[in-house]
Amino acid sequence: MTEDCYLDPDYLEESSKTNIEDYICCICESIPNPETALEEENCGHLFCQNCLNNWLKKSKNCPFCKEIISKRSVKDKNKIVYRHLINLIILCPEKSCDWKGSLKDYEDHLMKKHSKVNVSQDSQEFELYKYYKATCHEHPLKYLDTTMDNGWGCDGRKLPSKCFSGLTGFRQSKDIKRFRCMQCDYDLCEKCMKNYYDKNYPIKNDNSNNRGLYLLNKQYYSQVHKHSLIFIDKTKDNGWGCDGRKLEKKCFSGITGFKQSYGIPRFRCPMCDFDLCENCMNNYKCKNNYELNKSYKVSAHKHPLLFLGLTKDSGWACDGRKLKDKCLSGITDFKQTKGFERFRCDQCDFDLCRNCMDYYYFHDQNCIIF
pLDDT digits (tens, 9 = 90+) for 198-245: 776 644 433 333 344 677 777 777 878 877 788 887 776 678 899 999
Residues 124 and 177 in one domain: yes
Q: Are residues 324 and 305 in the same domain?
A: yes
- Regarding whether 94 and 126 lie in a shared domain, the answer is no
Instruction: State residue 205's pLDDT score.
Output: 34
What pLDDT shows up at residue 297? 85
Residue 51 lies in a domain: yes
Q: From the centroid of its chain, how far is CA 271?
A: 25
Tell me the C-alpha distance between 269 and 287, whole Å: 18
Please indicate, yes or no, whether residues 162 and 96 belong to a single structural domain of this protein. Answer: no
Contacts by 24-28, CB closer than 8 A, 24 or more apart: 25/51, 26/62, 26/63, 26/64, 26/236, 27/51, 27/52, 27/54, 27/55, 27/63, 28/138, 28/184
* Residue 68 falls inside a structural domain: yes
DSSP state of 202: P
Does any domain span residue 201? Answer: no
Sequence-separated contacts (24+) of 200-207 with Cβ below 8 Å: 200/95, 201/133, 205/252, 205/278, 205/279, 205/282, 206/253, 206/264, 206/265, 206/277, 206/278, 206/279, 206/282, 207/139, 207/140, 207/265, 207/278
21 and 94 part of one domain: yes
Q: Are 32 and 46 in contact (CB under 8 A)?
A: yes
Residue 205 falls within a domain, yes or no? no
Q: What is residue 221's predicted lDDT score, i.e. its pLDDT?
A: 77
277 with 343, same domain?
no
Q: Would residue 103 count as lying in a domain?
A: yes
Question: What is the pLDDT, as a whole number, of residue 351?
Answer: 94
What residues contact 93, with CB distance under 8 A and at least 6 apart?
Answer: 8, 11, 135
Helix (H) or strand (E) holding 82: helix 79-86
Structural domain contains residue 106: yes
CA dist 245 and 254 (Å) reads: 8
- Total residue length of the chain: 370
Based on the domain organization, do 300 and 340 belong to the same domain? yes
Q: Which positions of the chain have pLDDT values less than 70? A: 1-6, 76-77, 95, 110-124, 129, 147-150, 182-183, 200-213, 236-237, 287-289, 362-370
Cα–Cα distance measured from residue 270 to residue 205, given in angstroms and rounded to the nearest whole number: 25
Residues 99 and 133 grouped into a single domain: no
Q: Are residues 308 and 255 in the same domain?
A: no
Q: Which residues contact 158 (CB under 8 A, 6 or more apart)?
A: 2, 3, 4
Instruction: Decide if 6 contacts 31 (C-beta within 8 A).
Output: yes
Residues 62, 91, single domain; the answer is yes
Instruction: Give residues with Cβ within 8 angstroms of 26, minimum separation 6.
Output: 45, 46, 47, 62, 63, 64, 236
What's 334's DSSP letter? Answer: S
- The DSSP code for 289 is -
Of 196, 228, 255, the last residue of a domain is 196
DSSP, residue by residue, 230-285: EEEEE-S------GGGGSTT--TT---SSS--TT-EEEEETTTTEEEEHHHHHHHB
The model's pLDDT over 126-169, given as tens digits with 9 standing for 90+, comes to 777 677 888 888 777 877 777 666 678 899 998 888 898 888 88
Quick: pLDDT tens for 234-248. 776 678 899 999 998
In a domain, 202, yes or no: no
pLDDT the model gives residue 137: 85
pLDDT score at 317: 92
Domain final position from 158, 181, 196: 196
User: Into how many domains does the chain fold?
Assistant: 4
Q: What is the pTM of this model?
A: 0.34
Determine the Cα–Cα distance for residues 147 and 62; give it in Å rounded to an integer.
35
> What span, in angstroms and rounded, lies between the C-alpha atoms of 132 and 258?
31
Tell me, what's the pLDDT at 74? 75
Euclidean distance between CA atoms 271 and 240, whole angstroms: 15
334 lies in which domain range? 295-369
Identify whether residues 192 and 137 lie together within a single domain: yes
Q: pLDDT value at position 118?
A: 36
Is residue 305 within 8 A of residue 298, CB to CB? The reply is yes
Which of residues 93, 113, 133 is at a domain's end?
A: 113
What CATH number does residue 82 fall under? 3.30.40.10
Q: Residue 144: helix, strand or coil by DSSP?
A: strand
Closest by CA position to 267, among listed 295, 244, 294: 244
Q: Are residues 177 and 242 in the same domain?
A: no
